[in-house]
Amino acid sequence: MKVIFHLAERILAHPITNILLAIMFLISGITDAIEDYNANETGIKLHHGIALYGLILFVKSFVAWLKVLKGLKQKEVLKN
């Protein structure tokens, strides 16, 4: 059971998983906003929060991914 939890923790903590989740939230929020716009509905609704959360999660995950790439590049420079 510990192996399954450890694997799930590693998958959920991976920057690429978070980027994919962020993209899904962004797409969901934006499509709902477009549907409301086309239906002439006004006001701030849940899809605005979902899109905003997706954007924040995307930026956060992208920065983490860049830090990983920077660390890999530094290790490569130190090897040479």
26-75 tens-digit pLDDT: 999 889 888 888 888 777 788 888 889 999 988 988 888 888 888 877 77
In a domain, 5, yes or no: no
In a domain, 3, yes or no: no
Q: Residue 74's pLDDT is what? A: 78
Closest residue by Cα to residue 32 from 18, 46, 16: 46
Give the total number of structural domains in the chain: 1
- Print the domain residue range for 27: 15-79
Question: Which residues, 6+ apart, have CB-to-CB distance to 46 below 8 Å?
Answer: 32
pLDDT band with cut points at 50, 70 and 90 for residue 25? very high
Distance CA 34, CA 30 (A): 6
Question: Which residues, 6+ apart, have CB-to-CB distance to 30 below 8 Å?
Answer: 47, 51
CA quadruple 28, 30, 33, 38: dihedral positive or negative?
negative
In a domain, 69, yes or no: yes
